[in-house]
């Protein structure tokens, strides 16, 4: 039997990625894909600005870095911000069992939709994630609207 991982410790990896993105001049959203046994499979961050690629979200970056996995039911997608529709679709498509969300205050994304469809979603309400994202959105409203497809 696998013990419940320390989700806040896993979130630290995603926050590190978000901070790296911020330091690169990008959108500070980071993510990490873990196996439920605690192994880190891959991590990444939003690189829309850095690479001019709107398809590189934190979650998709972490997912791609993890390479091919046989199954995803026992994996945990950890992300600093609630996943958008695109990333929520990724979670459903590959049957990722658990999503750990740093915060859903600045953006609620697909949290309810994932729960309604059987994904376990844990929202940590992490103050570091709330302030990092909130401050960034306040300073970059145009870029934020572009990232969530509102413009
Ligand atoms: Zn996304």
All residues with CB under 5 Å from ion ligand 1: 57, 84, 86-87
Per-residue pLDDT tens over the stretch 49-104: 999 999 999 999 999 999 999 999 999 999 999 999 999 999 999 999 999 999 99
CA of 46 to the centre of ligand 1 (A): 8
Q: How far apart are CA 75 and CA 121, in angstroms?
A: 12
CA of 148 to the centre of ligand 1 (A): 8
* Residues marked as catalytic: 59
Q: Does residue 25 surpass a pLDDT of 80?
A: yes
Burial class (CB in 10 A: 0-12, 13-18, 19+), 123: middle
Q: Which of 73, 90, 87, 80 is nearest to 124 (CA)?
A: 80
| DSSP H helices in 1-110 | 7-23, 48-51, 58-65, 85-93
Write out the two tokens for 113. Answer: 């939709």
Report yes or no: 123 and 111 within 8 Å, Cβ to Cβ: yes
pLDDT of residue 1: 43
- 48 pLDDT band, cuts 50/70/90, is very high
Per-residue pLDDT tens over the stretch 112-136: 999 999 999 999 999 999 999 999 9
Half-sphere exposure for 14 (CA within 13 Å, toward CB): 37
Mean pLDDT of all residues in 137-150: 91
CA of 76 to the centre of ligand 1 (A): 16
pLDDT of residue 151: 58
Pairing of strands 75-81, 98-103: parallel
Q: How far apart are CA 22 and CA 6, in angstroms?
A: 25
- 150 pLDDT band, cuts 50/70/90, is confident
CA of 1 to the centre of ligand 1 (A): 32
Per-residue pLDDT tens over the stretch 30-40: 999 999 999 99
């Amino acid at each position: 039997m696998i013990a419940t991982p320390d989700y806040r410790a896993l979130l630290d990896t995603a926050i590190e990625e978000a901070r790296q993105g911020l330091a690169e001049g990008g959108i500070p959203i980071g993510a990490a894909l873990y196996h439920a046994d605690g192994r880190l499979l891959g991590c990444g961050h939003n690189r829309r600005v850095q690479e001019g690629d709107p398809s590189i979200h934190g979650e998709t970056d972490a997912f791609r870095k993890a390479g091919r996995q046989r199954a995803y039911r026992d994996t945990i997608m950890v992300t600093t911000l609630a996943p958008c529709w695109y990333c929520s679709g990724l979670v459903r498509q590959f049957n990722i069992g658990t999503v750990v969300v740093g915060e859903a205050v600045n953006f609620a994304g697909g949290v309810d939709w994932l729960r309604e469809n059987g994904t376990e979603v844990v929202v940590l309400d992490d103050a570091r994630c709330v302030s990092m994202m909130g401050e960034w959105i306040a300073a970059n409203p145009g870029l934020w609207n572009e990232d969530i497809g509102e413009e």
